[in-house]
């Protein structure tokens, strides 16, 4: 028999066909059914009717202390405007959506930050003792870095608290090779290889590879044979004979290391530069020098 709203007395709520206790229970059931039809109801406990089937509420299965949303996308809503969710529409994968976009996923043994998302943390520790942490093929372990392929570093390598090592590449054009103005080899301050830092820092020259790329004709002159690396006005490398590089009639590669002298003054706040006696442009010389320079930035604390 259907029970319509406001018709609960039609079942005989006021007719005493049952003992008082049973009649009261029937009346409670009728009231509950009519409350449900009104759109609201209150229960302390809802138990499954068929053992093992759980209770389904609008497609959500509540069973044995678990909640089964059956793979519905964006099923569990976390914020007030409904655009931050956790769900699993793909089998064996958990999707985390924030502000309407999928940002992270979990699959077996893997946590993935999707394109446009990032992971921020202060510390990453190894899971397995002595295994280290591998980042895209680079092993970070016990204060050491192991890379089996080529590595690219744009920010330098921190050697100690106050020392960072860098490598940079600078190309000196034909006009800088034969010129005497600022930025040229024959200028008093030479051609700048590494710009001057502030007075809180000193630059230490480690090495330089000078690659002369010959083009059309050789430069002439430059009899000083004094192509040298300086920090400020302090010479920090041996001199290279002009004929071994600038006035050569073909491609040349020269490698320089820091002076092996016992010591030299290391000026603070000064650039690393390359200087030489002026050479001459014969008219068609177009060779360039590519300088690959390794140096250290030292925080002096002065």
Does any domain span residue 124? no
pLDDT at 282: 94
Q: Are residues 36 and 88 in the same domain?
A: no
Q: Which domain holds residue 67?
A: 55-113
Beta bridge pairs of residue 208? 256, 293
The answer on 60 and 30 residing in a single domain is no
Q: Are residues 253 and 187 in the same domain?
A: yes
Number of domains into which the chain is organized: 3
Residue 244 belongs to a domain: yes
> How far apart (Å, rounded) are the C-alpha atoms in residues 219 and 248?
8
Report the DSSP beta bridge partners of residue 120: none
| Mean pLDDT across 10-20 | 52
User: How many degrees, rounded to 5, is the angle at CA 247 between CA 245 and CA 250?
Assistant: 70
**Distance between CA 291 and CA 289 in Å, rounded?**
6
User: Partners of 101 in the beta sheet?
Assistant: 98
Q: Does residue 219 lie in a domain region? A: yes
Tens digit of pLDDT for each residue in 127-181? 898 889 988 888 888 878 887 777 676 778 889 999 999 999 999 999 999 999 9
Global confidence as pTM = 0.60
pLDDT in tens, 234-289: 999 999 998 999 999 999 999 999 988 778 888 999 999 999 999 999 999 999 99
66 and 109 together in one domain: yes
Share of the chain residues as helix, strand and coil, in percent rounded to the nearest 5 = 10, 35, 55
Is residue 215 predicted with pLDDT exceeding 70? yes
3-state secondary structure of 287: coil
Distance CA 273, CA 196 (A): 10
What is the percentage of the chain residues whose pLDDT exceeds 70?
A: 88
- Judgement on whether residues 289 and 177 belong to the same structural domain of the protein: yes
Can you tell me whether residue 243 is helix, strand or coil? helix
**Does the residue 191 lie in any domain?**
yes
Give the separation between CA 137 and CA 127, rounded to whole angstroms. Answer: 17
CA distance 221 to 240: 14
Instruction: Supply 39's token pair.
Output: 């759109």
Quick one: which of 190, 260, 263, 262 has its CA closest to 232? 190
User: Could you say which DSSP state residue 184 is in?
Assistant: S
- DSSP β-bridge partners for residue 169: 292
């Amino acid at each position: 028999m259907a029970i319509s709203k406001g018709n609960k007395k039609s079942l005989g709520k006021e007719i005493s066909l049952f003992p008082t206790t049973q009649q009261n229970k029937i009346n409670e059931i009728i009231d509950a059914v009519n409350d449900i039809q009104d759109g609201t109801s209150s229960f302390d406990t809802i138990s499954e009717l068929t053992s093992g089937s759980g209770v389904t509420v609008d497609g959500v299965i509540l069973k044995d202390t678990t909640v089964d949303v059956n793979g519905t996308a964006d099923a569990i809503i976390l914020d007030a405007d409904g655009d931050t969710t956790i769900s699993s529409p793909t089998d064996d994968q958990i999707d985390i959506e924030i502000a309407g976009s999928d940002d992270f996923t979990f699959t077996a043994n893997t946590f993935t930050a999707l394109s446009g998302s990032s992971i921020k943390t202060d510390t990453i520790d190894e899971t397995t003792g002595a295994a280290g942490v591998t980042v895209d093929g680079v092993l970070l372990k016990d204060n050491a870095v192991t890379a089996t392929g080529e590595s690219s570093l744009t920010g330098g390598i921190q050697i100690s608290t106050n020392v960072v090592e860098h490598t940079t590449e600078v190309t000196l054009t034909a006009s800088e090779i034969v010129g005497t103005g600022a930025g040229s080899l024959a200028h008093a301050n030479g051609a700048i290889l590494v710009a001057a830092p502030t007075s809180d820092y000193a630059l230490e020259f480690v090495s330089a590879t000078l690659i002369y790329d010959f083009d059309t004709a050789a430069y002439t002159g430059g009899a000083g044979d004094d192509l040298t690396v300086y920090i400020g006005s302090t010479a920090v490398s041996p001199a290279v004979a002009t004929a071994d590089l600038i006035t050569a009639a073909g491609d040349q590669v020269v490698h320089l290391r820091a002076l092996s002298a016992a010591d030299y003054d290391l000026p603070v706040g000064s650039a690393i530069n390359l200087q030489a006696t002026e050479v001459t442009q014969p008219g068609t010389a177009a060779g360039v020098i590519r300088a690959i320079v390794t140096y250290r930035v030292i925080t002096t604390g002065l």
